Amino acid sequence: MYNLKNSIFSLLLASIIFTSCNGQTKTNQPNKTIVEQQSFTSKNTKLTKTQGTTEHQNVHCSLQDKNGNLWFGTTGEGVYRFDGKEFTQFTEKDGLSNNKVWCILEDTLGNIWFGTDGGVSRYDGKTISKIPFIISNSSGFGTSIPQSAKNMVWSIFQDKSGIIWFGTSEDLYCYEGKLFSRFLDKRNISNNQNLKLNWIQCFLEDSNGTIWMGSGPITEEGVIQFDGKSITSSKPNGDGWIRYIVEDKNKKLWFGGRGRGNFIYDGKNFTQYTEKVGIGNPILADKLGNIWFTGEEKISTVESERGIWCYDGKTFKNYNTNDGLSKYFVCSMLADSNGNIWIGTRNCGLYRYDGKIFTTFSQ
């Protein structure tokens, strides 16, 4: 079932679309395109669709910013900010590069970055700006990178030194506060496997400073490790497409493969996780130490098999339509500062679990 679903999804995707990073973060800003007048497409008490999307679009990513606002990125409806009372929707009219938002990051300066289907945008608290990838050259000046009209930004991550990483469909970039650089242009990085490092789906920096990356579709380079000197790739379960990386309270890393299930890294070895069947990928580690899993995807990738699962280290608890979730597949989860779990699904669905009940926040 995994291989069949993987093949179908890869074919559909292919038919639709076809930097150690050193230095300190600075306050300089890259060149940008600014939308002077924001329209704030809509304000509603629930996440309301205005762009005509279908059940195939989803709430794909989420974060809680330093001010407590919740942000939800969708694959067709732009991004929504929830202040606890009201959702404000931002779309291309407000400066987003594209209404398909794959990832969100708040940097240490409080800027919020959006990775979209058409590049990067950044929100400084007032204005959303389109940020082009301007590469530094030997003379110290910036050079625009020749790109296709649709360089998708799949993932954004800020490491402990302050460098921001961008996993895109064309390359892996790093931003050091002023200009961008290509990770693979760094001469002191060993790349004996000739990895391409495009289509990176996810990042995680562990307690030892090792940066882990999950390779996405097209290249399917599996799990990638960067120890500051070299990059290496492996496919512990034979799966080249890694969608999620989660670190549990015991510092073990959980990896979610697109086609062949899950596996764990204990600091020395990778182990295939087979103790529980019928679950999807690990998607969230909450403050209590629970690991949350998606359900398995049905062939259509729109609906889910049995909702979501919560693992406390000993037992699994299932939540599904009987508990107030929809039938749609879960694509993102977020634990907020109050301990609530927010669940984003296909059909741009959004739900909150407060430990007792599920509440719908979309319509």
Let me know: does 124 contact 42? Beta carbons within 8 Å. Answer: no
Q: Report helix, strand and coil shares of the chain as percent, to nearest 5.
A: 5, 45, 50
316-319, strands of its sheet edge to edge: 279-285, 291-297, 304-311, 316-319
187 CB-near residues (< 8 Å, 6+ apart)? none
User: What is the signed CA dihedral for 99, 100, 105, 109, rounded to 10 degrees?
Assistant: -20
pLDDT at 36 over 70: no
48 three-class SS: coil
- Any residues with CB less than 8 A from the CB of 129 and at least 6 apart, and which? 32, 33, 34, 35, 95, 121, 122, 123
Token output for 69 = 């606002």
Looking at residue 144, its pLDDT comes to 57
pLDDT for the residue numbered 339: 96
In the structure encoding, which two tokens stand for residue 233, read together?
């790739």
Instruction: Evaluate if residue 305 carries a pLDDT over 50.
Output: yes
Distance CA 126, CA 139 (A): 33
Q: Look at residue 300 in the predicted model and tell me its pLDDT.
A: 76
Give the pLDDT confidence score for residue 299 in this predicted structure.
75
Maximum pairwise Cα distance, the chain: 62
CATH class, 51-178 region? mainly beta
Phi-psi region of 251 (alpha: psi -120 to 50; beta: other; left: phi over 0): left
Q: For the ranges 136-140, 192-196, 228-232, which has the lowest average pLDDT? A: 136-140
**In the numeric block, which tokens belong to residue 55?**
């059940």
**What average pLDDT does this structure show over 197-213?**
96
pLDDT of residue 259: 87
- Check residue 189 and give its pLDDT: 95
Alpha helix positions (H), the chain: 2-16
pLDDT tens digits, residue range 68-78? Answer: 999 999 999 99
Is pLDDT above 50 for 7?
A: no
Helix (H, G, I), strand (E, B) or coil at 93: helix
3-state secondary structure of 287: coil
**Average pLDDT of the segment spanning 179-183:** 92
- Distance between CA atoms of 282 and 294, rounded to whole angstroms? 7
Instruction: Give the lowest-confidence range in 43-57, 144-158, 299-313.
Output: 144-158
Q: Which pLDDT does position 146 carry in this prediction? A: 53
Cross-strand pairs, 172: 167
What tens digit of pLDDT does each residue of 132-175 get? 988 866 555 555 555 555 789 999 999 999 999 999 999 999 99
CB atoms within 10 A of CB 28: 9
> What confidence tens digit (pLDDT) does each residue in 77-104 have?
999 999 999 999 999 999 999 999 999 9
The average pLDDT across 235-262 equals 95
Stated length of the chain: 363
- Mean of per-residue pLDDT scores for the chain: 88
Q: In which residue ranges of the chain is CATH 2.130.10.10 found?
A: 51-178
Phi then psi dihedrals of residue 11, to 5 deg: -65, -40
Asked which of 12-16, 87-91, 197-201, 242-246 is least confident by mean pLDDT, the reply is 12-16
Please give the Cα distance from 218 to 221 (Å, whole number).
9
Beta strands in 179-221 (DSSP E): 180-182, 200-205, 211-215
Q: What is the pLDDT, as a whole number, of residue 234?
A: 97
pTM over 0.75: yes
pLDDT at 13: 46
**Residue whose tokens read 């019928």:** 278
Inform me whether the pLDDT recorded for 30 exceeds 80.
no
| Count of beta carbons in the 10 Å neighbourhood of residue 124 | 14
DSSP 8-class letter at 7:
H
H or E stretch at 142: strand 142-144
% the chain with pLDDT above 90 = 77
Confidence class of residue 178 from pLDDT cuts 50, 70 and 90?
confident
Report the C-alpha gap between 41 and 145 in whole angstroms: 31
Please give the Cα distance from 261 to 82 (Å, whole number). 33
Q: Check residue 140 and give its pLDDT.
A: 52
Torsion of CA 189, 176, 75, 330, to 10 degrees: 70
Cα–Cα distance for residue pair 230/20, rounded to 1 Å: 8
Give first-to-last CA distance, the chain, whole Å.
32
